[in-house]
Amino acid sequence: MPARRIIGVDLGGTKLLAGAVDPSLGVHYRVQRAVTGLPQRALLDMAVDAVTEARASAGAEVTAVGFGLPAVIDVRTGNVVVGAHTPLADLAFADVMVERLGLPVFVDNDGNNAALAEHRAGAARGATDAIMLTLGTGIAGGLILGGRLYRGARGGAGELGHMEIDYDGAPDADNCPGRGCAEMFVSGRALAREADRLAAQRPDSGLARAVGEGRTLAGPLVTELAHDGDPAAIEAVELIGTRLGVVITSLVNIFNPEVVVVGGGMIAAGELLLAPARAVVAERTFPFLSEGLRILPARFGVEAGMIGAAALAYEGMAALEEAAP
Ligand SMILES: [Zn+2]
């Protein structure tokens, strides 16, 4: 069989990652673009441009394109229903991209794609029941149940970041009508908030020194300071890890998975984040559910969504070929 590629695109709230991906989910060419603040038309132009570049450098025939968006997608149509961090709400995204790219296009939620990548070739490979949490600015989620990606009645399942964990909590942002959602407590945004609080309380800490130098305590900086051994930064990361354990505890009680995979930008904190999460899960779940449970970092890191978008398109193409007479 001749070599072929699919272009996987993860179109996030701050950046776009595109890659030419082979059928074994190896990445052969990568494109990265900043997309923060782009209006819809410029965002679509940039996506087309990135796919065109990846296609030209793919080194083999490109047969389809897969997209992941930080949005609820109606998977029957490829239409965006509501976009949390992206100006694509109510857009017939798949139709627009088919017309502009001249290739078959498959679209799903970014969290679902990340789960697919980790299940097909990553940390959850071989598991029948697995849960993926992608911790970035917010939380994206994906559920593999019975070996298949679980999408629910209309394609909106797996919004694990909007699991409400504070019944009387503050309103969520980003078009979510919920209150006290998990991503308000466990996310890059939450880490930055806790770091700001600790910096103010501990003027002698590394966090406070960074603020004094005019730096913003965003997730990657706090993580770096924690790895460097600053006790205040470690405390901030461990606090988020403890809360992550609470979220995972609920998911374990509901789904009884074999493996929970944690990815996204925040997994750069590694064991500083996962060790407290595991401790909470061990303490708070029924031993029958937690025995043998694995809580693992994502294999594909920040590329999980991009690779999963390609996996989505490979599986979509295979289904089309099977259905063809
Ligand atoms: Zn929410």
Mind listing the pLDDT tens digit for each residue in 108-117? 999 999 999 9
Residue 1 pLDDT class (50, 70, 90 cuts): low
Residue 72 pLDDT class (50, 70, 90 cuts): confident
pLDDT at 2 over 70: no
Residue 73 pLDDT class (50, 70, 90 cuts): confident
Ligand 1 midpoint to CA 97 (Å): 28
Query: Among residues of the chain, what percentage have pLDDT more than 90?
Result: 84
Ligand 1 midpoint to CA 316 (Å): 30
Question: What is the average pLDDT across 137-145?
Answer: 94
Ligand 1 midpoint to CA 221 (Å): 25
DSSP state string for 38-100: --HHHHHHHHHHHHHHHHHTSSSEEEEEEEEESEEEETTTTEEEEESSSS-TT--HHHHHHHH
Ligand 1 midpoint to CA 70 (Å): 13
Q: What is the pLDDT of residues 77-129, one digit of tens each?
A: 878 887 767 788 888 999 999 999 999 999 999 999 999 999 999 999 999 99
Ligand 1 midpoint to CA 177 (Å): 6
Ligand 1 midpoint to CA 245 (Å): 18
* Exposure string for 46-67, b = 16+ CB within 10 A, e = fewer: bbeebbebbbeebeeebebbbb
Ligand 1 midpoint to CA 183 (Å): 7
pLDDT at 130 over 90: yes
Instruction: Identify the helix (H) or strand (E) that includes residue 278.
Output: helix 271-284
Ligand 1 midpoint to CA 190 (Å): 13
Helix, coil or strand: residue 294: strand
Ligand 1 midpoint to CA 256 (Å): 23
Q: What is the pLDDT of residues 225-278, one digit of tens each?
A: 999 999 999 999 999 999 999 999 999 999 999 999 999 989 999 999 999 999
Q: Which pLDDT belongs to residue 75?
A: 78
Ligand 1 midpoint to CA 231 (Å): 31
Greater confidence (154 vs 124) lies with: 124
pLDDT at 60 over 90: yes
* Exposure string for 189-216, b = 16+ CB within 10 A, e = fewer: bbbbbbbbebbeeeeebbbbebbeeeee
Ligand 1 midpoint to CA 90 (Å): 19
Ligand 1 midpoint to CA 141 (Å): 12
Q: What is the pLDDT of residues 282-301, one digit of tens each?
A: 999 999 999 999 999 999 98
* DSSP secondary structure code for residue 29 in this structure: E
Residue 57 pLDDT class (50, 70, 90 cuts): very high
Which token pair is 46? Answer: 């940039």
Maximum C-alpha span of the chain: 71
* DSSP secondary structure code for residue 299 in this structure: S
Ligand 1 midpoint to CA 3 (Å): 42
Chain CA centroid to CA 236, Å:
21
Ligand 1 midpoint to CA 161 (Å): 7
Strand duo 259-263 + 130-135: pairing: parallel
Ligand 1 midpoint to CA 134 (Å): 15
Question: What is the average pLDDT across 197-222?
Answer: 96
Alpha-carbon distance of 166 to 190, in angstroms, equals 15
Q: Which pLDDT belongs to residue 302?
A: 86
Q: Are 154 and 147 in contact (CB under 8 A)?
A: no
Q: How would you list the strands of the sheet with 294-297, edge to edge?
A: 148-149, 139-145, 130-135, 259-263, 294-297
Ligand 1 midpoint to CA 167 (Å): 12
Please tell me the least confidently modeled range out of 30-39, 86-95, 129-138, 157-166. 86-95
Average pLDDT, the chain: 94
Ligand 1 midpoint to CA 61 (Å): 41
Cβ-based neighbour number of residue 227 at 10 Å: 15
The candidate with the shortest Cα–Cα distance to 35, out of 90, 72, 83, is 83
Residue 46 C-beta-side C-alpha neighbours within 13 Å: 21
Instruction: Identify the helix (H) or strand (E) that includes residue 31.
Output: strand 27-34
Instruction: Identify the helix (H) or strand (E) that includes residue 283.
Output: helix 271-284
Alpha-carbon distance of 7 to 23, in angstroms, equals 11
Q: Are 213 and 219 in contact (CB under 8 A)?
A: no
Q: Are 313 and 5 in contact (CB under 8 A)?
A: no
Alpha-carbon distance of 85 to 232, in angstroms, equals 30
Ligand 1 midpoint to CA 216 (Å): 25
Ligand 1 midpoint to CA 241 (Å): 19
pLDDT at 5 over 70: yes
Cβ-based neighbour number of residue 225 at 10 Å: 24
